[in-house]
Chain A
């Protein structure tokens, strides 16, 4: 058979595509469970990282430190068919921020309670996401971790480095002037400011608007925590005085 005839070329091309396509789909389906497991483990270690815990076995550590997983909608704890951990943030942030159901992770570490909030927003080239952990007052930041899909290496991608993330601890989320954190250029000494990434302005602004957008559902819930916390400290002061 003439291997350079049109007929043969078509047959060859079709056969090749069919073989390759089936080979790839078999590989993709059989490896899927392993890949999903990896994504789940990464999510757990990200949540743990934001409260300052790093370790080999994030599965075990997660069960140890995360004591509760709540579903929040517009400042209230609601019941949900889906477990908090399984909520797909990518889908959730597409809904209006006052009706979306979002997860909140309650952690207990060294005698203190912390709250971890997942976030998801837009960078320059694709999605960015992260976790922000708050101290018991629901306002002061304990730690933050960010990650991205395809921001520019060396520029926007720097949001996932500790240089950027280490600015967040001890900043506050809510004040009378604004909700969230301002990612700005230059001086960032204020309680609600961090220094953005030079050359990564759009990603930096993305982080800021992600915070603003994702905090809305939690705001009422967190402010209540803050009131309780003050109440408790006032009570203890009064009791000491008395």
Chain B
């Protein structure tokens, strides 16, 4: 058993599963329904959504690795506090770096960067996975979940920015296509938070109809 474990390839089937599962059958947003609040708040435009996704991937991967490295040292009674401190430290670092190098984006994200701490996906994955698994696996799990979260964020913000504002990554797509001259109007409602919920719901619908294993039998 010991021998077997040490021989396990870096990207064995099991490890690939850690990366791939969150993308579909175990997606943090559409299946686990975690991290919804930030999915509503920062998906108005692609740019903040992408920066938020990258921040979450970095924070989640590092937090998972760090807690996984410490998992045999952390006293059980204060483990939630330790997790919080690890995540909070990383978030403050990310915030400081954003403020120093991409100031306008950091202003747009404002409070949401701080709210990465409260993103249930991060605490959830640390508590459920990295406290009981070795660093490499935890890293894969963190990246997998972070990427899947980011993917949904980017898909949602793609539709919201395109339909609500007529731009993509601030590039005026609709104007260049000349649709305004044909009488097309942007749908301002797409910019309001409730529409993000509806877009997420449509994604869930589509995903479930494609994935039989997700459909409950009653």
A232 to B11 Cα, complex, angstroms? 81
Contact with B along A26-44 (1 / 0, CB 8 A): 0110010011001001100
Query: Majority SS of interface residues in chain B?
Result: helix
Contacts between chains A and B (CB distance < 8 A), count? 51
Contact residues in A for B182 (Cβ distance below 8 Å): none
Check A23 for interface membership: any CB of B closer than 8 A. yes
Check B204 for interface membership: any CB of A closer than 8 A. no
A13 to B75 Cα, complex, angstroms? 9
Contact partner of B100 among A4, A9, A31, A150, CB < 8 A?
A31
Q: Is the CB of B96 within 8 A of A27?
A: yes
Q: Is the CB of A23 within 8 A of B89?
A: yes
Check B206 for interface membership: any CB of A closer than 8 A. no
Q: Size range of the interface on A?
A: 20 to 34
Contact partner of B73 among A12, A27, A28, CB < 8 A?
A12
A20 to B199 Cα, complex, angstroms? 40
Kindly identify, within residues 78 to 121 of chain B, every residue whose CB is under 8 Å from any CB belonging to chain A. Answer: 78, 81-82, 85, 89, 92-93, 96-97, 99-101, 103, 110-111
A228 to B75 Cα, complex, angstroms? 77
Q: Size range of the interface on B?
A: 20 to 34
A23 to B74 Cα, complex, angstroms? 20
User: Which of B73, B97, B100, B110 has the largest count of A CB atoms less than 10 A from its CB?
Assistant: B100
Contact partner of A31 among B72, B73, B78, B96, CB < 8 A?
B96
Contact partner of B78 among A13, A34, A35, A150, CB < 8 A?
A13
Residue of A nearest to B75 (CB): A9
Check A24 for interface membership: any CB of B closer than 8 A. yes
Check B12 for interface membership: any CB of A closer than 8 A. no
B143 → chain A closest CB, angstroms = 23
Contact residues in A for B93 (Cβ distance below 8 Å): 23-24, 27
Q: Is the CB of B89 within 8 A of A24?
A: yes
Given the interface pairs A16-B82, A27-B93, the reply to whether A3 lies near B74 with Cβ below 8 Å is yes
Given the interface pairs A20-B85, A28-B96, the reply to whether A4 lies near B76 with Cβ below 8 Å is yes
Contact with B along A127-156 (1 / 0, CB 8 A): 000000000000000000000001000000
A205 to B89 Cα, complex, angstroms? 38
Check B77 for interface membership: any CB of A closer than 8 A. yes
Contact residues in B for A31 (Cβ distance below 8 Å): 96-97, 99-100
B178 → chain A closest CB, angstroms = 24
Residue of B nearest to A17 (CB): B85
A174 → chain B closest CB, angstroms = 34
User: Which of A4, A17, A24, A38 has the largest count of B CB atoms less than 10 A from its CB?
Assistant: A38
Contact residues in B for A42 (Cβ distance below 8 Å): 103
A190 to B108 Cα, complex, angstroms? 34
Given the interface pairs A20-B89, A24-B92, the reply to whether A12 lies near B100 with Cβ below 8 Å is no
Given the interface pairs A35-B99, A35-B100, A38-B103, the reply to whether A4 lies near B89 with Cβ below 8 Å is no
A16 to B88 Cα, complex, angstroms? 13
A35 to B96 Cα, complex, angstroms? 8
Q: Is the CB of B92 within 8 A of A38?
A: no
Contact residues in B for A3 (Cβ distance below 8 Å): 72-76
Kindly identify, within residues 45 to 83 of chain B, every residue whose CB is under 8 Å from any CB belonging to chain A. Answer: 72-78, 81-82
Chain A positions near chain B (C-beta within 8 angstroms): 3-4, 8-9, 12-13, 16-17, 20, 23-24, 27-28, 31, 34-35, 38, 41-42, 150
A-B contact pairs, 16 of them (CB 8 A): A3-B72, A3-B73, A4-B77, A16-B82, A20-B85, A24-B89, A24-B92, A27-B92, A27-B96, A34-B101, A35-B99, A35-B103, A38-B99, A38-B100, A41-B103, A150-B111
